[in-house]
A and B are shown apart, each in its own frame.
Chain A
Amino acid sequence: MNAQIQEVLQRMRLVYLANLTQRLDAMGTQVLELKHGDVHADSFENLHRAVHTLKGTAGTYGLQIITEICEPFEDCLKAAHESGMSGGDQLTNCCMHFIDLLREVTSQLVAGEESFTEVEAYLNDIPSSATCSPSAFRRSP
Protein backbone atom coordinates (compact mmCIF):
# COMPACT_ATOMS: atom_id res chain seq x y z
CA MET A 1 0.00 0.00 0.00
CA ASN A 2 1.09 3.55 -0.70
CA ALA A 3 2.83 4.69 2.50
CA GLN A 4 1.22 8.15 2.39
CA ILE A 5 -2.25 6.63 2.11
CA GLN A 6 -1.46 4.22 4.92
CA GLU A 7 -0.42 7.09 7.17
CA VAL A 8 -3.59 9.07 6.42
CA LEU A 9 -5.74 6.00 7.04
CA GLN A 10 -4.11 5.36 10.39
CA ARG A 11 -4.57 8.94 11.54
CA MET A 12 -8.16 9.16 10.35
CA ARG A 13 -9.03 5.76 11.85
CA LEU A 14 -8.17 7.00 15.33
CA VAL A 15 -10.49 9.99 14.96
CA TYR A 16 -13.26 7.79 13.55
CA LEU A 17 -12.92 5.31 16.41
CA ALA A 18 -13.03 8.12 18.96
CA ASN A 19 -16.43 9.16 17.60
CA LEU A 20 -17.83 5.70 17.03
CA THR A 21 -19.19 5.19 20.55
CA GLN A 22 -21.34 8.29 20.16
CA ARG A 23 -22.71 6.96 16.87
CA LEU A 24 -23.53 3.64 18.50
CA ASP A 25 -25.33 5.48 21.31
CA ALA A 26 -27.40 7.31 18.70
CA MET A 27 -28.18 3.98 17.05
CA GLY A 28 -29.27 2.61 20.44
CA THR A 29 -31.64 5.54 20.85
CA GLN A 30 -33.15 4.79 17.44
CA VAL A 31 -33.72 1.19 18.52
CA LEU A 32 -35.43 2.31 21.74
CA GLU A 33 -37.76 4.47 19.66
CA LEU A 34 -38.76 1.35 17.76
CA LYS A 35 -39.28 -0.58 21.01
CA HIS A 36 -41.53 2.01 22.58
CA GLY A 37 -43.66 2.22 19.50
CA ASP A 38 -43.18 5.97 19.62
CA VAL A 39 -41.91 5.92 16.11
CA HIS A 40 -41.76 8.33 13.27
CA ALA A 41 -42.63 6.72 9.96
CA ASP A 42 -38.99 6.77 8.95
CA SER A 43 -37.38 5.54 12.20
CA PHE A 44 -36.88 2.04 10.91
CA GLU A 45 -35.47 3.36 7.65
CA ASN A 46 -33.09 5.66 9.55
CA LEU A 47 -31.80 2.78 11.66
CA HIS A 48 -31.36 0.61 8.56
CA ARG A 49 -29.51 3.43 6.82
CA ALA A 50 -27.25 3.97 9.85
CA VAL A 51 -26.27 0.29 9.91
CA HIS A 52 -25.80 0.18 6.13
CA THR A 53 -23.59 3.29 6.27
CA LEU A 54 -21.54 1.96 9.18
CA LYS A 55 -20.99 -1.27 7.26
CA GLY A 56 -19.53 0.59 4.28
CA THR A 57 -17.59 3.26 6.12
CA ALA A 58 -15.94 1.21 8.87
CA GLY A 59 -14.43 -1.18 6.35
CA THR A 60 -13.04 1.71 4.33
CA TYR A 61 -11.35 2.94 7.52
CA GLY A 62 -9.79 -0.52 7.82
CA LEU A 63 -12.11 -1.69 10.61
CA GLN A 64 -13.29 -4.89 8.91
CA ILE A 65 -14.62 -6.46 12.10
CA ILE A 66 -17.20 -3.66 12.39
CA THR A 67 -18.28 -4.31 8.81
CA GLU A 68 -18.52 -8.04 9.55
CA ILE A 69 -20.86 -7.39 12.49
CA CYS A 70 -22.98 -4.96 10.49
CA GLU A 71 -23.61 -7.53 7.75
CA PRO A 72 -25.86 -9.89 9.79
CA PHE A 73 -27.29 -6.86 11.62
CA GLU A 74 -28.42 -5.37 8.32
CA ASP A 75 -29.65 -8.76 7.09
CA CYS A 76 -31.87 -9.07 10.20
CA LEU A 77 -33.29 -5.59 9.62
CA LYS A 78 -34.00 -6.42 5.98
CA ALA A 79 -35.68 -9.71 6.91
CA ALA A 80 -37.77 -8.00 9.60
CA HIS A 81 -38.82 -5.28 7.16
CA GLU A 82 -39.80 -7.83 4.52
CA SER A 83 -41.94 -9.58 7.14
CA GLY A 84 -43.68 -6.33 7.97
CA MET A 85 -42.01 -6.12 11.39
CA SER A 86 -40.71 -2.67 12.29
CA GLY A 87 -40.76 -2.83 16.07
CA GLY A 88 -41.43 -5.17 18.96
CA ASP A 89 -39.31 -6.95 21.52
CA GLN A 90 -37.75 -9.58 19.31
CA LEU A 91 -36.44 -7.04 16.81
CA THR A 92 -35.28 -4.52 19.39
CA ASN A 93 -33.53 -7.18 21.49
CA CYS A 94 -31.71 -8.40 18.42
CA CYS A 95 -30.69 -4.84 17.45
CA MET A 96 -29.45 -4.09 20.97
CA HIS A 97 -27.49 -7.31 20.92
CA PHE A 98 -25.65 -6.25 17.76
CA ILE A 99 -25.10 -2.75 19.11
CA ASP A 100 -23.63 -4.18 22.33
CA LEU A 101 -21.32 -6.33 20.26
CA LEU A 102 -20.27 -3.29 18.22
CA ARG A 103 -19.63 -1.35 21.44
CA GLU A 104 -17.51 -4.14 22.86
CA VAL A 105 -15.45 -4.46 19.69
CA THR A 106 -15.04 -0.68 19.47
CA SER A 107 -13.60 -0.61 23.02
CA GLN A 108 -11.19 -3.36 22.06
CA LEU A 109 -10.16 -1.54 18.88
CA VAL A 110 -9.55 1.63 20.87
CA ALA A 111 -7.39 -0.43 23.24
CA GLY A 112 -5.34 -1.59 20.25
CA GLU A 113 -6.76 -5.10 19.87
CA GLU A 114 -6.32 -6.48 16.36
CA SER A 115 -7.48 -10.06 16.62
CA PHE A 116 -11.17 -10.91 16.95
CA THR A 117 -11.21 -14.68 16.62
CA GLU A 118 -14.00 -15.19 19.15
CA VAL A 119 -16.24 -12.56 17.63
CA GLU A 120 -15.64 -13.99 14.17
CA ALA A 121 -16.50 -17.49 15.41
CA TYR A 122 -19.67 -16.07 16.95
CA LEU A 123 -20.59 -14.36 13.67
CA ASN A 124 -20.11 -17.63 11.80
CA ASP A 125 -22.69 -19.21 14.11
CA ILE A 126 -25.31 -16.50 13.57
CA PRO A 127 -27.21 -18.34 10.81
CA SER A 128 -28.11 -21.00 13.38
CA SER A 129 -29.14 -18.47 16.04
CA ALA A 130 -32.81 -18.69 16.97
CA THR A 131 -33.18 -15.04 17.88
CA CYS A 132 -30.59 -13.03 16.02
CA SER A 133 -30.42 -14.48 12.52
CA PRO A 134 -32.30 -13.22 9.47
CA SER A 135 -34.29 -16.48 9.43
CA ALA A 136 -35.68 -15.62 12.87
CA PHE A 137 -37.49 -12.71 11.24
CA ARG A 138 -38.76 -14.44 8.15
CA ARG A 139 -42.39 -15.48 8.07
CA SER A 140 -43.03 -19.20 7.75
CA PRO A 141 -44.44 -20.02 4.32
Chain B
Amino acid sequence: MKVLIADDDKDLCQLLGAVLRSQGHEVFFAFDAAQALIVAKNKSPDVIALDINMPGGTGTGALQKIKMNMKTSMIPVLVISASSYEQNNARMTQMGAAEYMQKPLDADKFCAALYRLTGQPAVGAAAQG
Protein backbone atom coordinates (compact mmCIF):
# COMPACT_ATOMS: atom_id res chain seq x y z
CA MET B 1 0.00 0.00 0.00
CA LYS B 2 0.98 3.63 -0.41
CA VAL B 3 1.13 5.60 2.81
CA LEU B 4 1.56 9.33 3.34
CA ILE B 5 2.94 10.28 6.76
CA ALA B 6 2.42 13.97 7.49
CA ASP B 7 4.24 15.00 10.65
CA ASP B 8 6.79 17.73 11.36
CA ASP B 9 8.70 15.33 13.62
CA LYS B 10 11.31 13.84 11.31
CA ASP B 11 12.45 11.26 13.87
CA LEU B 12 8.97 9.85 14.03
CA CYS B 13 8.61 9.91 10.25
CA GLN B 14 11.90 8.05 9.91
CA LEU B 15 10.81 5.35 12.30
CA LEU B 16 7.31 4.86 10.91
CA GLY B 17 8.72 4.96 7.38
CA ALA B 18 11.28 2.27 8.21
CA VAL B 19 8.63 0.10 9.84
CA LEU B 20 6.27 0.39 6.87
CA ARG B 21 9.01 -0.16 4.31
CA SER B 22 10.08 -3.29 6.18
CA GLN B 23 6.54 -4.53 5.47
CA GLY B 24 6.94 -3.78 1.77
CA HIS B 25 4.93 -0.57 1.59
CA GLU B 26 5.62 2.64 -0.26
CA VAL B 27 5.95 5.67 2.01
CA PHE B 28 5.79 9.41 1.33
CA PHE B 29 6.45 12.16 3.83
CA ALA B 30 5.15 15.67 4.35
CA PHE B 31 6.53 17.88 7.10
CA ASP B 32 3.88 20.58 7.06
CA ALA B 33 0.24 20.99 6.15
CA ALA B 34 0.76 22.56 2.74
CA GLN B 35 3.12 19.76 1.72
CA ALA B 36 0.63 17.18 3.00
CA LEU B 37 -2.06 18.38 0.63
CA ILE B 38 0.31 18.55 -2.34
CA VAL B 39 1.69 15.04 -1.75
CA ALA B 40 -1.81 13.67 -1.15
CA LYS B 41 -2.95 15.09 -4.49
CA ASN B 42 0.14 14.05 -6.45
CA LYS B 43 0.79 10.58 -5.06
CA SER B 44 -2.75 9.41 -4.32
CA PRO B 45 -1.82 7.38 -1.22
CA ASP B 46 -4.12 4.62 0.01
CA VAL B 47 -4.07 6.09 3.50
CA ILE B 48 -2.76 9.18 5.28
CA ALA B 49 -1.33 9.36 8.82
CA LEU B 50 -1.68 13.00 9.80
CA ASP B 51 -0.35 14.80 12.86
CA ILE B 52 -2.82 17.51 13.82
CA ASN B 53 -0.31 19.36 16.00
CA MET B 54 2.05 20.54 13.31
CA PRO B 55 3.43 24.06 13.86
CA GLY B 56 0.85 26.80 13.78
CA GLY B 57 -1.99 24.36 14.38
CA THR B 58 -2.08 23.66 10.68
CA GLY B 59 -2.77 19.93 10.98
CA THR B 60 -6.51 20.40 11.44
CA GLY B 61 -6.54 22.76 8.45
CA ALA B 62 -4.82 20.07 6.41
CA LEU B 63 -7.44 17.53 7.45
CA GLN B 64 -10.22 19.88 6.33
CA LYS B 65 -8.52 20.57 3.00
CA ILE B 66 -7.88 16.87 2.34
CA LYS B 67 -11.51 16.09 3.05
CA MET B 68 -12.77 18.96 0.88
CA ASN B 69 -10.60 18.20 -2.13
CA MET B 70 -12.15 15.97 -4.79
CA LYS B 71 -8.89 14.11 -5.45
CA THR B 72 -8.21 13.33 -1.81
CA SER B 73 -11.54 13.31 0.01
CA MET B 74 -11.93 9.53 -0.18
CA ILE B 75 -8.50 8.75 1.27
CA PRO B 76 -8.87 7.52 4.87
CA VAL B 77 -7.01 9.69 7.36
CA LEU B 78 -5.56 8.34 10.58
CA VAL B 79 -5.03 11.32 12.85
CA ILE B 80 -2.02 10.99 15.17
CA SER B 81 -1.29 13.34 18.05
CA ALA B 82 0.29 13.48 21.47
CA SER B 83 -2.83 15.25 22.71
CA SER B 84 -5.33 13.11 24.54
CA TYR B 85 -7.74 10.82 22.77
CA GLU B 86 -10.63 12.04 24.90
CA GLN B 87 -9.98 15.68 23.96
CA ASN B 88 -9.73 15.14 20.24
CA ASN B 89 -11.27 11.93 18.99
CA ALA B 90 -14.85 13.16 18.56
CA ARG B 91 -13.79 16.47 16.99
CA MET B 92 -11.42 14.81 14.52
CA THR B 93 -14.00 12.20 13.54
CA GLN B 94 -16.51 14.98 12.92
CA MET B 95 -13.95 16.64 10.68
CA GLY B 96 -13.64 13.49 8.60
CA ALA B 97 -10.83 11.52 10.23
CA ALA B 98 -11.30 7.78 9.99
CA GLU B 99 -9.52 7.10 13.29
CA TYR B 100 -7.60 8.89 16.00
CA MET B 101 -4.46 7.45 17.57
CA GLN B 102 -2.65 9.02 20.49
CA LYS B 103 1.17 9.21 20.61
CA PRO B 104 3.31 7.51 21.74
CA LEU B 105 2.34 5.15 18.96
CA ASP B 106 2.64 1.41 19.16
CA ALA B 107 4.20 0.45 15.81
CA ASP B 108 2.18 -2.77 15.59
CA LYS B 109 -1.11 -1.03 16.34
CA PHE B 110 -0.24 1.77 13.94
CA CYS B 111 0.31 -0.74 11.12
CA ALA B 112 -2.85 -2.62 12.11
CA ALA B 113 -4.86 0.61 11.88
CA LEU B 114 -3.52 1.29 8.39
CA TYR B 115 -4.41 -2.24 7.26
CA ARG B 116 -7.86 -1.86 8.75
CA LEU B 117 -8.46 1.50 7.06
CA THR B 118 -7.33 0.26 3.65
CA GLY B 119 -8.94 -3.15 3.96
CA GLN B 120 -5.62 -4.82 3.21
CA PRO B 121 -4.43 -7.96 4.97
CA ALA B 122 -1.62 -7.42 7.48
CA VAL B 123 1.85 -8.44 6.34
CA GLY B 124 3.05 -11.38 8.43
CA ALA B 125 -0.38 -11.87 9.98
CA ALA B 126 -0.57 -15.50 8.90
CA ALA B 127 2.91 -16.21 10.24
CA GLN B 128 1.96 -14.76 13.63
CA GLY B 129 -1.02 -17.12 13.90
Which A residues have a C-beta under 8 Å from some C-beta of B?
1-5, 7-9, 11-12, 16, 19, 49, 52-53, 55-61, 64, 67
Name B residues whose Cβ lies closer than 8 Å to a Cβ of A: 9, 11-12, 14-16, 18-19, 22-23, 53, 55, 81-82, 103-108, 111, 123-124, 128
With A and B bound together, what is the CA distance between A70 and B42 in angstroms? 37
* Nearest-neighbor residue (CB-CB) of A61 within chain B: B15
Check A56–B108 contact: CB distance below 8 A.
no
- A16-B11, A55-B82 in contact; A5/B104 too (CB < 8 A)? no
Q: Are B22 and A57 closer than 8 Å at their CB atoms? A: no
Across the interface, do B103 and A60 meet the contact criterion of CB distance under 8 Å? yes
The smallest C-beta distance from A46 to any residue of chain B, in angstroms, reads 10
Contacts of B123 in A (CB 8 A): 2, 4
| 14 A-B interface contacts by CB (under 8 A) | A1-B107, A2-B128, A5-B23, A5-B107, A11-B18, A49-B55, A52-B82, A57-B9, A57-B104, A59-B103, A59-B105, A60-B16, A60-B103, A60-B107
> For the complex, what is the distance from the CA of A5 to the CA of B82, rounded to whole Å?
22
Residue contact A12 to B15, C-beta cutoff 8 Å:
yes
Chain B contacts of A53 at CB under 8 A?
A: 9, 82
CB of A64 within 8 A of CB of B104, answer yes
- Is there an interface contact between A58 and B104, defined as CB atoms closer than 8 Å? yes
| Chain B residues closer than 8 Å to A60, beta-carbon distance | 12, 15-16, 103-107
CB-CB under 8 A from B104, the residues of chain A are 55-60, 64, 67
Q: Which B residue sits closest to A19, measured CB to CB? A: B11
Which B residues are in CB contact (< 8 Å) with A11?
Answer: 18
Are the CB atoms of A57 and B108 closer together than 8 Å?
A: no
Q: Which residues of B contact A64 (CB under 8 A)?
A: 104
Tell whether, in the assembled complex, residue B108 and residue A1 are in contact, meaning their CB atoms are under 8 Å apart. Answer: yes
Chain B residues with Cβ below 8 Å from A4 are: 22-23, 123-124
